[in-house]
Amino acid sequence: MSETSSTTAAPAAGTVAVLSRLRPYVQAALPRIYGAMVVSLSASVVALAIPQVLQWMVDGPLADGDANQIWLAAGIVLALGVVEAVLIGARRALVLTPGTHVEARMRNSLYAQLQDLPVSFHDRWPSGQLLSRAVSDLNLIRRWLSFGLVLLVVNVLTLIGGVIILISLNWVLGLIFAAAAVPVIAYSFAFERKYSDVARRSQDQAGDLATSVEESVHGIRVLKAFGRSRYALKRFESQAEQLRGTEIEKAKAIAGIWLYLTLIPDLAFGVCLVVGVWLASTGASSVGELVAFFATGTVLLFPIWSMGYFLAMTLDAKTATLRFFEVMDSVNTIEDPASPSTVVDGHGELSFDDVHFRYQDAPESFPDLIDGVTLTVEPGETMALVGLTGSGKSTLTALTTRLYDVTGGAVRVDGVDVRDLSRDELRTRIAMAFEEATLFSQTVRENVLLGRPDASEDDLREALEIAQASFVYDLPLGLDTKVGEEGLSLSGGQRQRLALARAIAARPSILVLDDPLSALDVDTEALVEAALRRVLATTTALIVAHRPSTVALADRVALLENGRVTAVGTHSELLATSPHYRFVISSFDADERAEAREAEERAERHDAEERAEIRDAELGITTKEVAS
C-alpha cells in the first residue's frame, strides 16, 4: 500500500490552523509580507477615494459648470490613479523575495528530515510523493505567500471598507449590496469542503504520477528489454487521465464559485440601479451620490471576483502544508541516544546477542524474520554469512549500522550496544558495501571518499587498488570524472568496485559487505579477493556470500536458517556436519551453473546478431548492386 492512501485520511483541520503551522518558516519574511499588505491596502484606499472625487465633481463643478474646478477634479483623479499604480508596483516589489526565502528554508528542512528519517520510512513512501512535496507543494506555498495571502487579506479589508462607504453614501442601496454577501459566504463554506477534498486528491495523484515517471525512467532498460514500453505508457496514460479528471473537477469547482461571485453581485448591482434611479427621481438621492455609489461598487468588483481564485489558492496551500508536515511530523525512530557511549580501545568485535527483528508490515502470524540470532565475529576475523535466498542475510547486516533497529536483543560493537553509540561514531566504526552499488552524480573521488572526505591521496589510491578499480585512472578526467546518474555510465561490476573502494577507504574497524562482488567476472573477483585478504587480515568483516569463492575468503562461516544461526565453523567443518549447509552450497553451484549458461547464451545470441547484421549488410549491398 502506498503511503498516500493512508495519509489522505488525515483528520480535517481548519484552514487557518493548518496554515499557521508555517509560522516558524515565515517569521523572517513577515515584515515584508505585512508591508506588502499595508501598501496594497493603501492602493485600495486610493482606488476607493476616486469615486468620492467623482461625486464632488458631479454634484459641484459639473452641476455649476465651473470649468476650472472640473479640470482640478480630473487632475486629482489622474494623480490618484498614478499613486495607486505606484503602490501596486511597490506591493509587487515587496512580495517578490520573501516567498522564495520561505520556500528555500522549507525545502532545506524537508531534505534534512528525509536524510534523517530511517530506512523504514523510505520503504513505505514512494519517491514521487516525496518529490512532489519537495517541488510542487512548496511552489504552491511560495505563490500563496507572495500573492494569495496578501491579496486575500487586502481584498477582504477592501470589501469591508467599501461596503461601509456604500452604506454611508446611501444606506438603502448599501444594504441591498451587502445582502448579496450572505449567499456568497454560504456558498464559500460549501466550496471549501468540496475543493479541499479535490485539491488533496489532485496533489496526491500528481505525486503518484511522479513516482511512475521516476520508476519507468529508472527501469527503462528492463522495460525496453521486455518490450513493455507500450504497457508502461498505457499505465502512465491512465494515471495522467485520472489526474486530468481531478483537475477538471477542480476547475469546475472554481467555475462554480466564480459563477456565484459574478452573478450575485451583478444581480445586486441591477437591483441597486433600479432602486437608485427611483430614489434619484424622488429626490431622495443626488446624481453625484449615485455616480459615487456605482463607481465604488465597480472598484469592489475585482476583489469580489478574484475571491474565488484566492480562496482556491489558499486551499491548495493548505493541502500543500498538510502534505509537507506529514513528512516533517514523521517520527524518527532511529536517533542518537541522549548521552551517547563511546567505544574505548576497541578492536572491532561485532556481536549479535539474541537478536530479533521483523519488518513493520510483516503479518502478525509470521514469526520474526530474525528470530534470536546469537553470533560473535572476533576482532580481525572474517565471517561469511550464508543462507538460502530470503533467509534474512541482508536484513541482519542492515542491523549493524542501524539502518533498522532490532526489535529484540542487541547488536554490539566491542561490547557497546549500537543504540548507545552516536550514529556518527557507529558509522565510522562500521562501513557497508551493498550488492546494489549506488553512485551519486559526483566525481569518482567524491564517491569513493563519501564515508571519509578527509582521507589522504594514498588511502584513496590504496582503496581503489584493493577494489581493483584502477580503471578510474583511464576515465576522461581520471578521479575527477563525474559518474552516477548525471555523469559517465559505468558497468555493474565497475560500480560495485567503486562501492567496495568506498567502504575500504572509510577505514572502519568492521566491514560489512552484502554480496559486493556479485557483478564481477571470475578473474576480477579472484584479484579483488586476493587484495581484500590483505585488508581483512586487520579488519573484522561480515560478508554475505552467494558464491563458494566468497566463502573461501572467510575464516569461519555462519549458517542462517529459519531466522537463526544454526551452525558456525569453517567451510569444511560445515560441509562435513551440516546437511542444510551442503544444500545451500549446492544451490550456489546451481546458481553459478545457471549464470554460466546464461552468459554462454548471451554470447551465442550476440554472435547470432552479429552474423545477422553482416548478412543484412551484404544483402543491402547486393540489392543496391541489383538496383543499379
Question: What residues line the site for ligand ATP (CB under 6 A)?
Answer: 123, 359, 361, 369, 387, 389-395
CB of 512 to ligand ATP, least distance (A): 12
Question: Which helix (H) or strand (E) is 351 found in, with range?
Answer: strand 350-357
- Of 127 and 394, CB closest to ligand ATP: 394
- Of 260 and 404, CB closest to ligand ATP: 404
- Of 103 and 561, CB closest to ligand ATP: 561
- Of 155 and 391, CB closest to ligand ATP: 391
- Of 40 and 395, CB closest to ligand ATP: 395
- Of 395 and 494, CB closest to ligand ATP: 395
Cα–Cα dist 10/505, whole Å? 45
CB of 434 to ligand ATP, least distance (A): 10
- Of 393 and 419, CB closest to ligand ATP: 393
Strand order in the sheet with 370-377: 370-377, 350-357, 408-413, 416-417
CB of 119 to ligand ATP, least distance (A): 7
- Answer whether 602's CB lies under 8 Å from 590's CB: no
CB of 125 to ligand ATP, least distance (A): 12
Structural Rg of the chain based on CA atoms: 36
- Of 235 and 582, CB closest to ligand ATP: 582
- For 171-187, give the secondary structure using H, E and C: HHHHHHHHHCHHHHHHH
CB of 543 to ligand ATP, least distance (A): 12
β-strands 350-357, 408-413: how paired? antiparallel
- Of 312 and 437, CB closest to ligand ATP: 437
CB of 363 to ligand ATP, least distance (A): 11
CB of 124 to ligand ATP, least distance (A): 9
CB of 387 to ligand ATP, least distance (A): 6
Q: Which residues pair with 371 in a beta bridge?
A: 356
- Of 288 and 392, CB closest to ligand ATP: 392
Show Cβ contacts of residue 332 under 8 Å, excluding neighbours closer than 6 positions.
Answer: 116, 117, 118, 121
CB of 560 to ligand ATP, least distance (A): 7
H helix runs in 117-148, sequence order: 119-124, 127-132, 138-143
Strand, coil or helix: what is 355? strand
CB of 373 to ligand ATP, least distance (A): 12
Closest CA to 40 of 399, 306, 377, 238: 306
CB of 361 to ligand ATP, least distance (A): 6
Amino acid residing at 626:
V
| The Cα angle at residue 461 between residues 459 and 466, in degrees rounded to 5 | 95
| The Cα angle at residue 560 between residues 402 and 502, in degrees rounded to 5 | 45
Cell of 107: 525545502
DSSP character at residue 400: T
- Answer whether 498's CB lies under 8 Å from 472's CB: yes
List, in sequence order, every beta strand (DSSP E) within 535-596: 540-544, 556-561, 564-569
CB of 416 to ligand ATP, least distance (A): 25
- Of 11 and 390, CB closest to ligand ATP: 390
CB of 451 to ligand ATP, least distance (A): 22
- Of 286 and 330, CB closest to ligand ATP: 330
Show Cβ contacts of residue 147 under 8 Å, excluding neighbours closer than 6 positions.
Answer: 95, 99, 313
Tally of CA atoms within 13 A in the half-sphere of 145 that contains its CB: 31
CB of 191 to ligand ATP, least distance (A): 42
Cα–Cα dist 445/447, whole Å? 5
Phi then psi for residue 506, to 5 deg, are: -70, -10
Cα–Cα dist 522/530, whole Å? 12
- Of 101 and 124, CB closest to ligand ATP: 124
Amino acid residing at 128:
G
- Answer whether 469's CB lies under 8 Å from 551's CB: no
- Answer whether 54's CB lies under 8 Å from 292's CB: yes
What is the rounded end-to-end Cα distance, in angstroms, of the chain? Answer: 64
Cα–Cα dist 561/570, whole Å? 17
Closest CA to 290 of 58, 78, 446, 603: 58
- Of 323 and 393, CB closest to ligand ATP: 393
Cα–Cα dist 185/163, whole Å? 15
Question: Which helix (H) or strand (E) is 417 found in, with range?
Answer: strand 416-417
